[in-house]
Structure 1
Amino acid sequence: MKKYFIQKSPFVVPTTDGKLIEEHHGLATTNNSEISIAHMVAPPGWSEPFQTPEFDEYTYIISGKKQFIIDDEKVILEAGQSIKIEKNTRIQYSNPFDAPCEYIAICKPAFSMDLVHREEN
């Protein structure tokens, strides 16, 4: 029995906002509730509603820039930078910039719509 698994077929999460979400490990792909790892590309002008997730979220920016509003503080990350946002923190993610933002997101425990608690617009 192999003690490793190479993900060759990430789950592409269906979206309606132009954002690419490829989950490599997590509930949708490997039924792993402990952690999720996703490759994402947020198009220019993209944003999500505020949310208060029940998981820690780590983000590493590969290219472009991404804006975070954490509680009431605006934070902008650029390529090569990363951030950890603790669970139960109110946050909004967006890309108000002119270029796509490519990044890796890691959630612990794994991302789940039941745990993200997105606010209504």
Structure 2
Amino acid sequence: MKKYFIQKTPFAVPTEDGKVIEEHHGAAATQNTDISIAHMIAPPHWSEPFQTPEFDEYTYIIKGKKKFIIEDQTVILESGQSIHIEKNARVQYSNPFDEPCEYIAICLPAFDFNKVHREE
């Protein structure tokens, strides 16, 4: 019995805002609710509404820049930098810049639309 799994076909999360989301491990891709690992590309001038997730999120920037508004602080990460945002923090993710932002997102426990609590 193998003690590993190589993900060759990540789950492509359908989006309507031009963002590319490929979940390699997580509830949608592998039915693992303990962790999700996704490769993402946020197009230029993309943003999401504020949210208050019930999970920790770690983000590692591969290329470009990404803006975070966490509670009342603004943070801009660049290529090679990473961040950990604790669960229950009010946060907004965006790419207000002219270049795409490519990054890896890891959520503990796994990302769950029912637990992200996006604002209208």
Cα distance in structure 2, aligned partners of 1:61 and 1:107: 15
Using the size of structure 2 for normalisation, the TM-score is 1.00
Counterparts of 1:1-121 in structure 2, within 5 Å, are: 1-120=1-120
Q: How far is the alpha carbon of 1:52 from its aligned partner?
A: 0.1
Cα distance in structure 2, aligned partners of 1:118 and 1:74: 18
Cα shift readout 1:60-82 (whole Å, capped 9, x = no counterpart):
00000000000011100000000
Identity %: 78
List alignment gaps of at least 5 residues for structure 1. none
Cα distance in structure 1, aligned partners of 2:69 and 2:10: 29
Cα distance in structure 1, aligned partners of 2:101 and 2:29: 23
List alignment gaps of at least 5 residues for structure 2. none
Q: CA RMSD in A?
A: 0.3
Cα distance in structure 1, aligned partners of 2:116 and 2:32: 16
Q: SS in structure 1 opposite 2:24?
A: strand
Using the size of structure 1 for normalisation, the TM-score is 0.99
Letter in 1 for 2:84: K
Deviation >2 Å, runs of 4+: none
